[in-house]
Homo-oligomer: A and B are copies of this chain.
Amino acid sequence: METPVDLTVGDLHASVDDPALNSMNFLNEVAQHYPDAVSLAAGRPYEEYFDVAALHRWLDRFHRHLVEDQGLGPEQVRRTLLQYGRTKGIVHHLVARNLAVDEGITADPEAVVVTVGCQEGMFLVLRALRTGPRDVLLAVAPTYVGLTGAARLVDLPVRPVAGGPAGVDLADLAEQVRRARAEGLRPRACYVMPDFANPSGISMDTAHRRRLLESAAEAELLLVEDNPYGLFPVGDADRPPTLKALDTERRVVYLGSFAKSVLPGARVGYVLADQRVAAPDGSVGLLADQLAKIKSMVTVNTSPIAQAVIGGRLLEHGCSLAGANTRERAAYARNLRHLLDGLARRFPPDRFPGVSWTAPAGGFFVVVTVPFGVDDALLHRSAQEYGVLWTPMAHFYDDGAVVNALRLSISAVTPAQIDLGLDRLAKLVADEVAALVGGGADWPR
């Protein structure tokens, strides 16, 4: 029997057929299809310390905050938690305190928009900035696929800026701005992840952050700073300040996430957008308020119940998530060291001359370069025949080219799983290299 069809993909917005939107779907499907494969692909946070009972405790803690610190009566409390509410959120003051305590950022709570995860924040910013077909976004490549996907939804082209070893190549940034303007285009902002970037793992040092701010000022360009991994350095050395902490002229729109520092299931993140926006009537307000207008037509407001969960967690630790994540940070550091040691042990340079990897100082991701192309077909084969999942780096570039690299994640695994996954990966790499140099060759041994 013929399957009846009501629409074709061509009847729908082009984004639904775009690699950026299909990428996550594809990776999720592979993971579901091979549930027994070890996943060095998933970038989700460590689960061992997750506790469903904590939800109740955090809800109660925030409830108490409403009563004791804000002086709300029972009717106001239930209205705050259960009704429609403030578009910009109800934990904005706690977010601002968290930014002060953990990041040295002085944030006006009114400049904070609490969003449905960082993803909604990203979407709101891109929707606001894209006014017409001349607008483009710059983004350090390789780029988080959620950024590229959100840009697709608003028909905003993303132009890559070379990342390089320092995290962003400032000469290329200037060149990309120049080139876009020469083409009559308007670069609206440059997206950067200065701390343990996804997927590169690279962090910018403080001097480079300052130079990036200077370059952005020269180019009259906004910076969109995304910082989901900053709390997770391996060592105890001082973390470099965020761009936003160094930003003296409101050049940085800062995206925050609680997915890794509290839990993904609350779907709570935020945008700090303190830029001053002049209205036609001469009044001047905050970019946050313009983003809130857009938000009111996307999700109305972020669930106050979900916000209360995050608020309770923040309150339990004096609004320090660095403090709240001591155990998690130790686990990630242990895993990252274990992965790097394991790579060194399994891929000695004399036997694997074409294999190398990054050595990030924190975060969730390591990029392994190999002497062969890494595509989705290879991932399928890796899952099916070798039992290990990872992410082809091609997913983080927007040009469809094959890339000789893959991303490994350390966040949702145990050291034992890392060992097993690396053993399997080593076998895959050895087999691929052997096939490269001719079947039956004894290199690598």
Tell me, in angstroms, the Cα distance from A296 to B18 when the chains sit together: 13
Q: How far is the CB of A118 from chain B (nearest CB, A)?
A: 9
Query: A117 near B299 (CB under 8 angstroms)?
Result: yes
Task: Judge whether A427 is part of the interface by a CB distance below 8 angstroms.
Answer: no
Tell me, in angstroms, the Cα distance from A264 to B47 when the chains sit together: 30
Measured as residues with beta carbon below 8 angstroms from the partner, the interface class of chain A is: 35 or more
Name the prevailing secondary structure of the A interface residues: helix
Q: Which of B83, B119, B296 contacts A149 (CB 8 A)?
A: B296
Task: Judge whether A244 is part of the interface by a CB distance below 8 angstroms.
Answer: no
Question: Which residue, A21, A59, A129, A277, has most C-beta atoms of chain B within 10 A?
Answer: A277
Segment from A7-15, A191-199, A363-371, A432-440 that makes contact with B? A7-15
Chain B contacts of A10 at CB under 8 A? 280
Query: A4 near B78 (CB under 8 angstroms)?
Result: no
Q: How far is the CB of A331 from chain B (nearest CB, A)?
A: 16
Q: How far is the CB of A59 from chain B (nearest CB, A)?
A: 6
Segment from A120-128, A173-181, A322-330, A413-421 that makes contact with B? A120-128
Task: Judge whether A130 is part of the interface by a CB distance below 8 angstroms.
Answer: yes
Chain B contacts of A131 at CB under 8 A? 11-14
Q: How far is the CB of A39 from chain B (nearest CB, A)?
A: 13
Chain B contacts of A378 at CB under 8 A? none
Chain B contacts of A81 at CB under 8 A? 52, 55, 265
Query: A265 near B56 (CB under 8 angstroms)?
Result: no
Give me 23 A-to-B residue pairs in the complex whose CB atoms sit less than 8 angstroms apart, sorted by A's number: A9-B278, A12-B129, A20-B297, A24-B296, A25-B293, A25-B296, A44-B84, A50-B78, A50-B79, A51-B78, A52-B81, A83-B263, A116-B267, A119-B298, A119-B299, A265-B304, A265-B305, A267-B303, A267-B306, A268-B303, A299-B299, A305-B306, A306-B306
